[in-house]
Amino acid sequence: MTLSALQDIVHQTREARRKQVLPKLTPSERDTLIKKFHPDCREQAYRPLKFGPNKGQLTVRELAALLEGDSPVPYDLPLDPDHTVDVLVIGGGGAGCAAALHAHKAGAKVLLATKLRLADSNSVMAQGGMQIAVAPDDSPVQHFLDTLKGGHFKNDRQLLKVMVEEGPSIAQWLLELGVLFDRDTDGSLHVKKGGGSTKPRLVTCSDYTGLEIMRVLKDEVLNRQIQLLEFCAAVELLTNRDGVCTGAVLRDLDNKRFIVVAAKAVILATGGIGRLHIQGFPTSNHYGATGDGLALAYRAGAPLVHIDTFQYHPTGAVYPEQLVGALVTEGIRSEGGHLVNARGERFVNELDTRDVVSSSIIRECEEGRGIRTPTGRMGVWLDTPLLELEHGAGTLEKHFPAMVRQYERYGIDIRKDPVLIYPTLHYQNGGVQIDVNAETAVPNLFVAGEASGGLHGRNRLMGNSLLDLMVFGKRAGLTAAARAASNRQGVLTLQHLRRFREEAKRYGVTEQITSPVILPAYTRTQDS
């Protein structure tokens, strides 16, 4: 059958599917499904870490290699600082911008270093929205419960309570900066319902929530004239003799030189890990999502949490080839879009949690009910035309203009035809362990955003990440600024690196990659 003949099955079964109600799975059904089909449960993809703060714990092989990898920095690198600041922020996504703005406002001298341009990040791509309990019939407590349930009750409750309680004031802060959230006719913030949530709680800016927030935050960082180093990647941290963080070594990607920064506090906001393509999955993440911050913090001695669990977003594009891995917003399912197999059947409650929905899509494909694309990939249908039927013609153009355009470029009209999707590597659930002020086990080293862990438990709920960034970016910024005001600049050494290298040798780890990897190696060489 051709793709278009397969598409016809979706069209033919639409009417019948509309009447169907699929129950959410019971906890035990969920567990069985996930154990059998979720990528997190493939044992051969995992191995224990050989040394370091998380020694003995299991993680995916790609991350294990990164964490056990060796630094590009030689031990005898001269450590005369090129810059001396109060607060060094590493990473220019949402968490980094929020941290820099708050630290700056608190009076600190801030330097923001980022690998690509400011705002080239995962944050800029967030489409679905940001969870904040603002609706009259909603509450922070309900937000807490939903998140806990989504995270399989493994969330750090203290972090989570802080996040949900500070949500509304974050909305206020963004509004004061000029972020234009969608409104209801009476002027209240419009909220949408996201997968795994009991209440509509997603505040949005059309389907450009991340773009709108990042445009504004970037503009504000520039307006505040915060010192900026673009195309400079952090490759190593610096510590004093007691292991307290005192700065970082960056690498200028234009001329490959090292830059030494002395700082009284360092905030890592380097984001996620998708571009390591764990288990060979395509990814929705930006070019620089290579988990650099995890490697840096690990070498400096900070333990990580939940490093064995990743989020595979249920709806990554698998066709056309140009879009492989790109995200198809969850909003389509929130608004009633069906997931449909090759036989024209629904197979999961589309609003179940991401891990459940992803696992069920993988099940359909592995059991032969998937659709094969011309390049040999497997996927299932997401019935987009259904939304036009349910909510009236023009719905997609009005609420999902980014997605309409995304497909239009390749001659696909999502208003008329369903699209093919398969789970894509989307989010790193865990990360560096932090306390409520975003500080790690290494004093004066803070981590905010996707690089941090604990809050989301074993599965992040849609829309919670944008809030996480803003809340803990702010807390990191404020605490770091306060720390800087009361502390002196510590000495710059690479002692932690010497310790790390000795440990590697002691545990017989000799074949190491150079870590962080900075950018994925996509450039084809002569023999590839």
Partner 1 sequence: MSTSEFDTNKVLEQEENLQPKMVTVEIAGKPHRVPAGITLMKALWYTGHEVIRGAGCLGGFCGACGTYYRTKDDPRVKTCLACSFAVEDGMSFSFAPPFPARKAIYRMEELKDPKQDLFTLYPEAPLCRNCNACTEACPQAIDVREGVWRAVFGDFKAVSEMFMNCVMCGLCAPVCIADIAPNFVALYASRAQGVYFTEKPKGLAERIQAIADGRYDEEWNRILSMTDEELEQASASAA
Asked if residue 320 has a cis previous peptide bond (ω within 30° of 0), the answer is yes
In whole angstroms, the minimum distance from the beta carbon of 170 to partner 1 comes to 10
> What does the buried/exposed string (b/e) look like for 72-99 if buried means 16 or more CB atoms within 10 Å of the residue's CB?
bbeeebebebebbbbbbbbbbbbbbbbb
Please answer whether residues 271 and 449 qualify as being in contact, where contact means their C-beta atoms are separated by less than 8 angstroms: yes
Positions in 410-469 near partner 1 (CB under 8 A): 410
Among ligand FAD, partner 1, none, residue 172 binds (CB under 5-8 Å by kind): partner 1
Taking the least distance from each CB to partner 1, the nearer of 240 and 353 is 353
Q: Which is nearer to ligand FAD, 206 or 493 (CB)?
A: 206
483 is catalytic: no
Min separation Cβ 84 and ligand FAD, Å: 19
CB of 105 to ligand FAD, least distance (A): 18
Distance of CA 42 to the CA centre of its chain: 21
Residues 42-61 that bind ligand FAD (CB under 6 A): none
x-or-dash string of contact with ligand FAD, 230-259, rule CB under 6 A:
---xx-------------------------
Of the pair 69, 271, the CB lying nearest ligand FAD is at 271
CA atoms within 13 A on the CB side of 345: 9
427 binds ligand FAD (CB under 6 A): yes
Quote the tokens at residue 227.
Answer: 């010192």
The footprint of partner 1 on residues 143-202 (CB under 8 A) is 144-146, 148-149, 153, 157, 161, 165, 168-169, 171-172, 175-181, 183, 186-189, 198
Q: Are strands 202-203 and 130-131 parallel, antiparallel or unpaired?
A: antiparallel
Instruction: Find the Cα–Cα–Cα–Cα dihedral 12, 410, 284, 4, rounded to 10°.
Output: 20
Catalytic residue among 333, 363, 456, 460: 333
Q: Round to whole Å and give the CA distance between 399 and 403.
A: 9
Query: How many residues sit in the footprint of partner 1 (CB under 8 A)?
Result: 96
233 binds, among partner 1, ligand FAD, none (CB under 5 to 8 A by kind): ligand FAD
User: Would you count residue 286 as binding partner 1 (CB under 8 A)?
Assistant: yes
259 in Cβ contact with 83 (< 8 Å): yes
Distances in Å between the Cα of 195 and the Cα atoms of 24, 134, 136, 174, 335 are: 11, 17, 20, 24, 10
Residue 19, interface with partner 1 (CB under 8 A)?
A: no
User: Given the complex with ligand FAD, which of 233 and 434 has the nearer CB atom?
Assistant: 233
- Pick out residues in 317-376 that bind ligand FAD (CB under 6 A): 327
> Do residues 116 and 234 lie in contact, with contact meaning Cβ atoms separated by under 8 Å?
no
Quote the tokens at residue 521.
């190696």
Q: Going along 310-377, which residue ranges are E strands?
A: 310-317, 338-340, 371-372
CB 315 within 8 A of CB 324: no
Q: Which tokens is 508 given? A: 């017989």
Residues 256-285 that bind partner 1 (CB under 8 A): 284
463 binds, among ligand FAD, partner 1, none (CB under 5 to 8 A by kind): ligand FAD
Strand partners, 58: 48
Q: List binders of ligand FAD among 196-215 (CB under 6 A).
A: 209-210
Instruction: Please report whether residue 508 would count as binding partner 1 according to CB under 8 A.
Output: no
Does 524 participate in binding partner 1 (rule CB under 8 A)? yes
Q: Is 222 in the site for partner 1 (CB under 8 A)?
A: yes
User: Please, which residue, 273 or 480, has the CB nearer to partner 1?
Assistant: 273
> Looking at beta carbons only, is 82 or 219 nearer to partner 1?
219
Alpha-carbon dihedral of residues 483, 485, 487, 488, nearest 10 degrees?
140
Using CB under 8 A as the binding rule, the residues of this chain from 347 to 406 that contact partner 1 are 367-369, 371-372, 374-376, 401-402, 405-406
- Residue 234 binding result from ligand FAD, partner 1, none, given CB thresholds of 5 to 8 Å by partner type: ligand FAD
Distance CA 415, CA 260 (A): 53
φ, ψ for residue 447, nearest 5 deg: -135, 130
Nearest approach in angstroms of CB 365 to partner 1 is 11
DSSP 8-state secondary structure symbol assigned to residue 524 = -
> Does residue 302 belong to the site contacting ligand FAD (CB under 6 A)?
no
Binding flag, residue 95, partner 1 (CB under 8 A): no
Q: Which of 275, 299, 313, 483 is catalytic?
A: 313
Among this protein's residues, is 333 annotated catalytic?
Answer: yes
Task: Give, as ranges, the residues between 90 and 149 that touch ligand FAD (CB under 6 A).
Answer: 90-96, 113-116, 120-123, 125-130
Would you tell me the crossing angle of helices 157-177 and 464-486 to the nearest 10 degrees? 90
> Alpha-carbon distance 433 to 413, whole Å?
44
Handedness of CA 386, 388, 389, 391 (dihedral sign): positive
**Residue number with CB closer to partner 1 (304 or 318):** 318
Spatial neighbors of 470 by CB under 8 A, at least 6 apart, are 94, 95, 98, 130, 170, 173, 174
Q: Count residues binding ligand FAD (CB under 6 A).
A: 46
Calpha distance 205→187 (Å, rounded): 14
- CB nearer to partner 1: pick between 17 and 190: 190
**Which one among 288, 314, 337, 423 touches ligand FAD, defined by CB under 6 A?**
288
Q: Is 36 a residue that touches partner 1 (CB under 8 A)?
A: no
Residues with a catalytic annotation lie at 313, 333
Tell me which residues touch ligand FAD (CB under 6 A). Answer: 90-96, 113-116, 120-123, 125-130, 209-210, 233-234, 269-272, 284-286, 288-289, 292, 327, 427, 449-451, 463-466, 469, 516
